[in-house]
Every structure is written in structure tokens, then in C-alpha cells.
Structure 1
Amino acid sequence: MLRKNLITQRMNHNLTQREVAELLGISEVFVRKIERGDSNPGRRTMLKFEGLYGVSERELFPDLFEVNFDTFCII
């Protein structure tokens, strides 16, 4: 699952994944994995993205904040 808003924010700021990585002090590979949804950032990394883009972490990473009530019961 792509994190479209995260990618959109990077593009709106005219930044490459490499530039984001350098600004946040993380690896370019990690930025790529976060954007693709293959990896989840820790709390500190989420706050770094929030500070960089000026957008709340809930908007950048909605998949990490959605509430999912599993109503499936095994009988």
C-alpha cells in the first residue's frame, strides 16, 4: 500500500527520496520502504516527517492510526 499523501508532500516540497533521507538523518532505502508501506516508521521518525512537511503524522500515515475492530469470531 503506497502512502500517497507522504509521496505527494515530498513532491510538493520538490524533494527526492535521497534529500528527505539526508534531512531526516535516515537511509534512502528506509524512506523508500516507508513510502511504499513496506516498513513503518518509529514515533521519532514520524515526528521528523511531520516537522519536515508541516503535516500531521495522522495525515501522513493514516494506515498506522486507523482503528480496526475485528468482529470475526471463531465458534
Structure 2
Amino acid sequence: MRERLRQARLARGWTQAEAARRLGITERAYRHLEYGTHNPSHRTVRRIKEVFGLSYDELMDNVFVDNETCAP
């Protein structure tokens, strides 16, 4: 997910701060998502899909969300 998230952000010309603002999370939290050091909550995944206009399959590839495997 992290590389897809980064690509989607860069394609829109957004900084990490702008992406975080649009998602309603802190810039620090966003950096953790993009660097892959934290897994997103279900709410954050839904918000990412809305803000970036990505489908679940485009965004996810067998990552763990809140200790549950999310199958595409």
C-alpha cells in the first residue's frame, strides 16, 4: 500500500502535509502510512479510498489492518 499511496499523492502534486490534511490525520500519521511503519485503521483505509479515488484492489495487496487480514 505504501508505494501506491505515495504514487497517488505525487500524481496529484500534493505534499505529505496536504495529503494528511485531506485525510483528516496528522502529517506524522500520514508519514507512517507512506513509509509502511504503521498499518491503517479501517476508517483510514476508507478515507484514503475516498480522497485518492482508488478502489480497494488498487490500494491494498494483502496488508494487515487492525490485526485482520484484508483480502482484496
Q: Any unmatched runs of 5+ in structure 1? A: 67-75
Larger Rg: 1
TM-score (norm 1): 0.76
Deviations 1:2-51 (A, max 9, x none): 72111000000111110111111100011000011100110110011100
Could you say what the CA RMSD is over the residues aligned between the two structures, in angstroms? 1.9
When the two structures are superposed, what TM-score results if normalisation uses the length of structure 2?
0.79
Letter in 2 for 1:31: Y
Quickly say closer, same or farther: Cα 1:63–1:35, change in 2 above 3 A.
farther
Q: Any unmatched runs of 5+ in structure 2?
A: 64-69
Greater per-residue strand proportion: 2
Q: Which runs of 4+ in 1 moved over 6 A?
A: none
Count residues with an aligned counterpart: 66
Q: Percent identity?
A: 34
